[in-house]
A and B are shown apart, each in its own frame.
Chain A
């Protein structure tokens, strides 16, 4: 039995062995502190990659959707997090329309039942959703254009996101003047927004009802109604208390604000994921290859929207205070790690290696928390059980009486939320740019290929391996490798960094076509 298992996994064991040898020998060419720094950085890159890869792999495994917009959802998480963190006033201003929109969409199931019971004559049934959609969009755009929204302006340097980031990190941030509504009274605009959102939801429901001949046992549950009402009410309250809320957020300390940014970015990611799945991806399960085109289209649109709103240039996001201390109690003389952490130092020393608390400690910690959390979700809950079963055969799960479509929406939403979380976590460390999504999606793809495309432990292992490899190559690019028969140390040039991870993937896939942890099909 044991021997058989050994034989079955021979290639896998040999590959793991070679990796271990490589890892050990990589430590030989550099000092201990360099090694510690490189390993920690590798793990941090691995943690971010994992957050992108985990969601991607869940979506691929359960729904067979290659979500090429996943990287852009990661990027969007970063930009939304930045907004909440650096410009809470904009966030508060934008929150009311967003809540109203969400409230409208929450009404969709209720409207579905209501409209389903009132079938219109054939032609009207075909046409009204389009008219409704056009009217709703016109109404929303009209109201949003006049909505009082305090904004930065990427076109003017003094008002660009980069300037605000700088001001915040230097502590010279001033509360910008509150925006005022132009034209109509804001309360009227509020009503128009509510009306537009409801109309939009009705039109979307109407489109879905068009194709259906029979509506199955309609029953009305109260929870969406209550939820929608709550969201709308929250929107109105926030609008009424706008100025007070903004002032309060500005006075909040940066660590709490950052926590809020994380929560908001993740939540927006989750909502967006659910919306994309239920409106755009759902009709495409029958023609898989076209999902690629759709997700590519979404990714183009997202990048362009981000460019239009936040501008093309890269900018940074200041780190929260908890990880930014440099003054007293953080000098070389303080030895104890615990003490440095208590002093909120930006760096600590581990075996003399300078480790940044945010970039290398906090990110890894968050990665670990998510790793364990999602694992518990998959192994210990009924939802996790359904997901694991659905990865193998979603039709059979449905034939057991489980509404798999709802699980699809949930998982898509979870996957995008994880990517958005990765984005907002990565932003203070690597900054914000239009290309960050594509970059990390590629890394995540490589990590998944190495670990096994739909294997959860594989996603984690692959991400860590890719992160480590990348950081070691970068480090050796600075140090140079002393190779035998070469007089000069060999220095891998910058283009070799992506090449090395890609080559590594090709080698692993040729040895183990299903990756390190993938199951043989």
Chain B
């Protein structure tokens, strides 16, 4: 087993603020890895740094053995990384169909993946003509994930998929992510510890811009001390 993504001790500034002060994350090929930590610890910034949206000023990021520094976001995405941002950032002025179509990297991507995507999220097929504004929160989240599935991505970065969703929808979301993870590697940010423990095999805890602990999720679940120390009463 090899690491698909290796984040090695990165430092990221946003404006004058030193947000990441040494984060290292390894994502094993074919696994689901989750980033845990309190609000504002730097989890989202880590994903954005991988994506090149907030480029790190120090450290190294390797994707499938290739360094990502100096590359622009679109270039990084084209290497096969899909990004699902927090707050369900779908395009409100575009219809569901257009939201999917815009993610095509080669002509015909959508036609090829249609069956798989609508198999995961049957709702979207029904809503295909609606504009993004008319979707409910859960539908928007599904669309945001579906959008990342349109091109052939080797790695998905998913930021807070369960945020603000009703419990029933969270269950659906978990099933969907489990299914898509069958042939894609996933790096997840998740505040909800229960969801994280159901989905992920490995975890990395980020605390005040540093990665402080990593290991197998199965071990963390029983490690009450670590949970209390880094994640508060979960």
A interface residues with partner B (beta carbon < 8 Å): 212-217, 382, 385-386, 388-389, 391-393, 395-405
Bound: A398/B72 CA distance, A: 9
Contact B75 A216 (CB under 8 A): yes
Contact B77 A401 (CB under 8 A): yes
Bound: A212/B75 CA distance, A: 15
* Contact partners of B11 in chain A: CB under 8 A: none
**Which residue from B51, B73, B75, B91 sits with its C-beta under 8 Å from A392?**
B91
Q: Does B101 contact A (CB under 8 A)?
A: yes
Tell me whether A399 and B69 are in contact in the complex, defined as CB-CB below 8 angstroms, given that A385-B98, A386-B102, A388-B94 are known contacts.
no
Contact B69 A214 (CB under 8 A): yes
* Contact partners of A403 in chain B: CB under 8 A: 72, 74
| Chain B minimum-CB-distance residue to A387 | B93
| Chain A minimum-CB-distance residue to B80 | A401
The interface bits of chain B over 9-28 (1 if a CB of A lies within 8 angstroms of the residue's CB, else 0) are 00000000000000000000
Q: Tell me, rounded to whole Å, the shortest Cβ–Cβ distance linking B44 to chain A.
A: 13
| Chain A minimum-CB-distance residue to B153 | A401
B interface residues with partner A (beta carbon < 8 Å): 51, 53, 67, 69-75, 77-78, 83, 85, 89, 91-94, 98, 101-103, 105, 147, 151
**Which residue from A212, A216, A399 sits with its C-beta under 8 Å from B77?**
A399
* Contact partners of A213 in chain B: CB under 8 A: 69-70
* Contact partners of B83 in chain A: CB under 8 A: 396, 399-400
Contact A215 B78 (CB under 8 A): no
The 9 closest A-B pairs by CB, nearest first: A214-B70, A401-B77, A389-B91, A398-B73, A399-B83, A401-B78, A216-B71, A403-B74, A388-B93
Tell me whether A396 and B89 are in contact in the complex, defined as CB-CB below 8 angstroms, given that A216-B72, A401-B77, A404-B74 are known contacts.
yes
Bound: A515/B33 CA distance, A: 47
Bound: A456/B234 CA distance, A: 49
Contact A388 B91 (CB under 8 A): yes
Contact B92 A402 (CB under 8 A): no
Bound: A388/B95 CA distance, A: 11
Tell me whether A385 and B94 are in contact in the complex, defined as CB-CB below 8 angstroms, given that A397-B102, A399-B77, A400-B147 are known contacts.
yes
**Which residue from A215, A216, A385, A391 sits with its C-beta under 8 Å from B102?**
A385
* Contact partners of B75 in chain A: CB under 8 A: 216-217
* Contact partners of A398 in chain B: CB under 8 A: 53, 72-74, 77
Q: Tell me, rounded to whole Å, the shortest Cβ–Cβ distance linking B185 to chain A.
A: 17
Bound: A402/B74 CA distance, A: 5
* Contact partners of A391 in chain B: CB under 8 A: 93
* Contact partners of A217 in chain B: CB under 8 A: 71, 75
Q: Tell me, rounded to whole Å, the shortest Cβ–Cβ distance linking B197 to chain A.
A: 28
| Chain B minimum-CB-distance residue to A396 | B89
Contact B98 A212 (CB under 8 A): no
* Contact partners of B91 in chain A: CB under 8 A: 388-389, 392-393, 396
| Chain B minimum-CB-distance residue to A403 | B74
* Contact partners of A392 in chain B: CB under 8 A: 91-93
* Contact partners of B94 in chain A: CB under 8 A: 385, 388-389
* Contact partners of B101 in chain A: CB under 8 A: 382, 385
Bound: A269/B83 CA distance, A: 37
* Contact partners of A401 in chain B: CB under 8 A: 74, 77-78, 103, 105, 151
| Chain A minimum-CB-distance residue to B73 | A398
Tell me whether A395 and B70 are in contact in the complex, defined as CB-CB below 8 angstroms, given that A217-B75, A385-B101, A400-B77 are known contacts.
no
Bound: A400/B82 CA distance, A: 7
Known contacts A388-B91, A389-B91, A401-B74; 10 further A-B pairs (Cβ under 8 A): A212-B70, A398-B73, A399-B51, A399-B77, A400-B83, A400-B103, A401-B151, A402-B102, A403-B72, A405-B72
Bound: A113/B22 CA distance, A: 33
Tell me whether A400 and B102 are in contact in the complex, defined as CB-CB below 8 angstroms, given that A214-B70, A216-B70, A216-B72 are known contacts.
yes
Bound: A382/B75 CA distance, A: 19
Bound: A212/B151 CA distance, A: 29
Contact A389 B93 (CB under 8 A): yes
* Contact partners of B53 in chain A: CB under 8 A: 395, 398-399
Q: Tell me, rounded to whole Å, the shortest Cβ–Cβ distance linking A385 to chain B.
A: 5
* Contact partners of A399 in chain B: CB under 8 A: 51, 53, 73-74, 77, 83, 85
| 14 sample A-B contacts, Cβ–Cβ < 8 Å, listed by A number | A213-B69, A213-B70, A214-B70, A215-B70, A216-B70, A216-B72, A216-B75, A392-B93, A395-B73, A396-B83, A396-B85, A399-B77, A400-B77, A401-B77
Bound: A388/B94 CA distance, A: 7
* Contact partners of A215 in chain B: CB under 8 A: 70
* Contact partners of B92 in chain A: CB under 8 A: 392
| Chain B minimum-CB-distance residue to A213 | B70
* Contact partners of A396 in chain B: CB under 8 A: 83, 85, 89, 91
| Chain B minimum-CB-distance residue to A389 | B91
| Chain B minimum-CB-distance residue to A402 | B74
Contact B102 A389 (CB under 8 A): yes
| Chain B minimum-CB-distance residue to A392 | B91
Q: Which of B69, B77, B102 has the most CB of A within 10 A?
A: B102
| Chain A minimum-CB-distance residue to B54 | A395
* Contact partners of A393 in chain B: CB under 8 A: 89, 91
Q: Tell me, rounded to whole Å, the shortest Cβ–Cβ distance linking B30 to chain A.
A: 22
Q: Tell me, rounded to whole Å, the shortest Cβ–Cβ distance linking B97 to chain A.
A: 10
| Chain B minimum-CB-distance residue to A216 | B71
Bound: A399/B78 CA distance, A: 9
Q: Tell me, rounded to whole Å, the shortest Cβ–Cβ distance linking B129 to chain A.
A: 14
Q: Tell me, rounded to whole Å, the shortest Cβ–Cβ distance linking B149 to chain A.
A: 12
Bound: A403/B73 CA distance, A: 8
Bound: A97/B78 CA distance, A: 39
Q: Tell me, rounded to whole Å, the shortest Cβ–Cβ distance linking B90 to chain A.
A: 9
Bound: A391/B92 CA distance, A: 10
| Chain A minimum-CB-distance residue to B132 | A392
Bound: A402/B77 CA distance, A: 8
* Contact partners of B105 in chain A: CB under 8 A: 401
| Chain A minimum-CB-distance residue to B53 | A395
Q: Which of B51, B67, B72, B74 has the most CB of A within 10 A?
A: B74
* Contact partners of A214 in chain B: CB under 8 A: 67, 69-71
Q: Which of A388, A398, A399 has the most CB of B within 10 A?
A: A399
Q: Tell me, rounded to whole Å, the shortest Cβ–Cβ distance linking A62 to chain B.
A: 12
* Contact partners of A212 in chain B: CB under 8 A: 70
Q: Which of B67, B73, B98, B101 has the most CB of A within 10 A?
A: B73
Bound: A397/B102 CA distance, A: 8
